[in-house]
Amino acid sequence: MRIQIVVFDGFDELDVFGPFEVLAMAGFAVEMVAVERPGPVRSMRGVTLHVPTVLGPADGIVVPGGGWLNRAAAGSWAQAQHGVLPARLAALAPATRWLASVCTGSLLLAAAGLLTGRRATTNRNAYEELRAYGVTVLDERVVDDGDRITAGALSAGLDLALWITEREVDVTTADRVAATIEYRRAAGPVGGRMVDDD
């Protein structure tokens, strides 16, 4: 399975590097991709990455947050205002097995129209903004709504990646990775698998 993690100027480091490490350790082919063009991308705290490829077809896509709550000039809010990333996500969604987000990355999925009528989560300080997109917001670390998987703030990205590992590989692999990074997984199926069978 090929997974892309989108990075853009102002991304939150933990939203990206936590899931990247977990998913790579689980054996997925994981790459960081830029939004529009290859080249340097600078995180919200000044880490600069050289990103050689851009967002394109993949089995799974992870979208981080960063800079939404304070309306930073660079970050997820700025990406929503610019409009290119939401449009690309909307275009790629039909051929993508699942799209996931960490923290306020869910608002980018929502801005793309990909969470309307869905259940999802985000940073607690952005619950009302997410609801305004027609989303049923759940106070959970991870919400799995089939082909949309969302995680709460920051450290919940680890739970997201471990849940994706359990879901796409098996629980043994997810538990092994959690033990390797010495991380105590959330009780039960990572915040509850929020999908109705009816």
Whether 145 contacts 119, CB under 8 Å: yes
Answer yes or no: is 131 within a domain. yes
Tens digit of each residue's pLDDT (9 = 90 or more) over 81-125: 999 999 999 999 999 999 999 999 999 999 999 999 999 999 999
Tally of domains within the chain: 1
Residue 119: CATH number of its domain:
3.40.50.880
Whether 140 contacts 121, CB under 8 Å: yes
Answer yes or no: is 183 within a domain. yes
Answer yes or no: is 196 within a domain. no
Please state, in angstroms and rounded to a whole number, the distance separating the CA atoms of residues 24 and 43: 20
pTM assigned to the model:
0.94
Whether 119 contacts 62, CB under 8 Å: no
The mean-pLDDT minimum among 30-39, 44-53, 168-177, 181-190 falls in 181-190
192 — pLDDT class (breaks 50, 70, 90): very low
Tens digit of each residue's pLDDT (9 = 90 or more) over 68-77: 999 999 999 9
Which ranges in 33-131 belong to alpha helices (H)?
76-82, 84-92, 105-111, 127-131
Alpha carbons within 13 A on the beta-carbon side of 57: 2
Q: Which of 101, 97, 128 is nearest to 115 (CA)?
A: 101
Answer yes or no: is 94 within a domain. yes
